[in-house]
Every structure is written in structure tokens, then in C-alpha cells.
Amino acid sequence: MTVSRAVLALGSNVGDRLAMLQSGVDAAASAGSVTAVSPVYETDPVGGPDQEDFLNAVVVVETAARPSALLQLAHQVERAQGRVRGAHWGPRTLDMDVIAVGDQVVDELELTVPHPRAHERPFVLVPWLAADPDATLVGHGRVDALLDGLDVRGVRLRSDLRLRPPALTERA
């Protein structure tokens, strides 16, 4: 059984945003051992209709789960939190994206890993770098170097908000 480091990005701009992110952190523990949870950031919405600001975070999990199983978990958690897939890049209770799974590359109809736009999204890269200062995005390089070329003004640390790491139990 191969264990990989999976990176899951969380975002919410509807309802109790912090509780939505926490549900994603808690669910990530069912896929393996959570090794890092980023701080919470408030971010300007990117694309889509006019909408409220997002809260974003990243969870890093050591897991034996396949990328497709992580995607199924993400969709299950999103549905449980009332996610409705309406307007493209529109408001959402919870968005849980599979960003990377070790050095795996997946290009399927339902799933692309690494996430095809992660390298250009400060709302993913800033929390990821905070959770894992040595992070590398397969095919694109070090996360800190990727951020050097991006405008990060729309990503603001919310030091008043914290996510609880799940209990340290291994379920991989």
C-alpha cells in the first residue's frame, strides 16, 4: 500500500463559513492522517457572479486513498453541507478540491490532479505554503516560487479564526 501526501483545498462563502471549513478538515481525517491544517484566510472571490468573500484553508493528509476516492469524499462532504452546483464559480457552502496527491498525475473526465488551476490561485497557494513551507506542485515547481509571480493582495490572514485539527488517529 502506497501512502501519499494529499493536499485538499477548502473554501466557503455561504452560511457559517468557518464551520463549513471545519467540516472539511474533519472529513479529511477519514481519508488518512492529517499532518497539517493551514491558518484561515479571507479571500476576494475570483470569477463568477458578485458574491461574498470566501474563507479558505488547506488540509494536508497522509493517505493511501486513490485520487478518485478523495474526490468522492470531497463531493460527499460538499453535499452533506448543502452545496448546490449552480452558477459556475458561484457562491457555495463548501468547496473541497483535490489539489495534489503525492507525485501522481491524473487526467480523467471527472478529475485532474494536480488541480489544473492551482498554480495560478493565491487562495490555494498561500494557505498551502503556510501548512507546508516545502510544498511543491507537480509540473509547476515550488509553491513559494509560484507565489512570487502572483498578486496576493486579495488573500488576507484571519488570525482571529482557527480550525481545529482532527484527533490524531490514523485511518488510512
Cα 145–149–151 angle (5° rounding)? 125
Please pick, among 97, 132, 158, 164, the residue that the annotation labels catalytic.
Answer: 97
Please pick, among 92, 103, 134, 144, the residue that the annotation labels catalytic.
Answer: 92
Counting DSSP H helices and E strands in the chain, the numbers are 4, 10
53 is catalytic: no
d(CA 42, CA 13): 9
92 is catalytic: yes
Q: Report, in this order, helix, strand and coil percent for the chain, each rounded to 5.
A: 30, 25, 45
Q: What are phi and psi of 3, to 5 degrees?
A: -105, 135
156 is catalytic: no
95 is catalytic: yes
d(CA 81, CA 18): 12
Please pick, among 16, 79, 85, 95, the residue that the annotation labels catalytic.
Answer: 95
- Active-site residue set: 83, 92, 95, 97
